[in-house]
Structure 1
Amino acid sequence: MLSSFLMILFFVNIKTAVRSCAPSEFFVDGQCCFMCSPGSSVFRACTQDSITSCIPCTRGTYTEEPNGLLKCFPCKNCDQAVGLAVLHKCQLQKNTICGPLNGYFCSGKARDGGCDKGQKHTVCRAGERVKSQGSAESDTRCEGCPEGTFSTKDMSLNCTPWTDCALNGKVKHTEGSSTADVQCQKTSVGLIVGLTVGLLCVCLVAGVFIYLKNKGTFSRNQSSETGDKETEGPDLPIQESMLPASNNANHRLKAAVTPCLQPSLTSKR
């Protein structure tokens, strides 16, 4: 019973002593000691004969407020695995402040005003356009391409209107979509006209070729017939006139030769 009473009295005395310390003091060993300033911690607490001895925080540690701590707090690590990067480096009097990586936004706020978790920005795919760009504080916002437009690349800022086939004198062959343009083809009338014109051109060329060929053949035949007539015409009279002359010449030759041959013939006899 007595021991319980003494225990209660001990705690009451401690609370009284703590309550009696000033805001810039801390209670230790039954007395109030002055706190160490931000960026340091307690090296040796005060005694009845000495004041508190403080030591600066080592690298990678900090304290932000006056304290009676025996050790400084470790600096925060900005883990890239959760999308974080160092926004402000740790200092003796200030903890590290993390922010989202480039291409990420903060999806979890920290009590010190930094970020505890980053999330990658949404990618607007083909068939969509970027409604608002992502930032360190917010995600990218996408929206589908309106009817009659399309986009073929990721993160397109605008959607392209479908091609109007009629403006080019064509008709629609394939319907467009949010990711593809309309496919056009020539109209049937235009195709028929084109084929007709082409056929007429072929026929015209063939006709001219045949005409020139026939004209050349006719000219050669006419020239040949004219030449034949010129050759045959004079020959017939010449042959007729030459036949008697030829016979007379033979007779004269025979008459001239006979006297010369006769002595020979006589001697042979």
Structure 2
Amino acid sequence: MLRQPLSGFSCVLLAVCALMQRSAAQPACDPVTQYVDNTDGCCRMCPPGTSMTSLSTCTEPNCSPCGNNEYQDKYTTEQKCTLQPYCDPNKNFKAAVHTSKKSRTTCLCEEGFHCSSKECITCIPHTSCPPGEGAVSIGDHAHDTVCKECPEGSFSDESSWSGACKQWTVCKTGFYVSQRGTARSDNTCVESGPSPAAYVVPILVIMSLLVAVGVFLCKVKPELFKRVAKCCMKSTHLPIEAEQDPEAPIRIERITPEENEDDDSILTGVPLTDNGNVLVQENGKLEQLSRQESQTECSQVCYNVVSDVQSR
């Protein structure tokens, strides 16, 4: 009896049934920690930080720790660990410190540098903010520095990849701003001088004293007041009368002392001529002093009179 050939549908159905029978025969293995061996059994893998030796069995794997500068970051059947990356200082990387055998060490850029690309093959310097700008976002291993112009009331006077804008200085009490700050410079504070009002009181005191001396002399010694005023004004080079020719010879005069209690020569002890020049006595004679000497003596006369008024 001849068999009829199977139809296409029947062939597909038989293939699916065979696959299902085979799948049902295989155990369910953990894809992370186990693997399927040639006998269709579930075998254990070595954990992270180790590698599998040739002495391993399916159920009892022989795992060896990774060596120095090596790592294994997952369960494995590999017999060797992976080398840690080399962080080249010539490419501005920090010296690597491998602290774990279960993870890959990341090479970090030196301070002031960042990765030139996503792969971080080399490191390049951060952008340096010029004077007048400050860092609003300081650069790190993965990002560059972001600069921005200093706002009103702040400044930056240096080039820096990490320096922010600084606030203008507020002058302390007793100081004032002599020069206003800019985006590149700070306020300039200068110590304040004494107030003009500080001079008012001393000036009023001196003026009051002079007025009091003048009033006293006018009432008590009018003739003496005239001579003292004439002498003092002459000592300050005020034009009272025509000055004598400095080339003229010194005039020698003789005077006879008179009994006059109003005579200023008696009060002050210094004889004067009619022109207010000072006479000095030598060997019974009175001589007229030079202009400079006369002015010095006149100053002494004024001082003696003021002292006499103060003592009274």
- Do the structures match in fold with TM over 0.5? no
Structure ranking higher in helix proportion:
1
Give the TM-score normalised by structure 1.
0.44
Which protein has the bigger strand share? Answer: 1
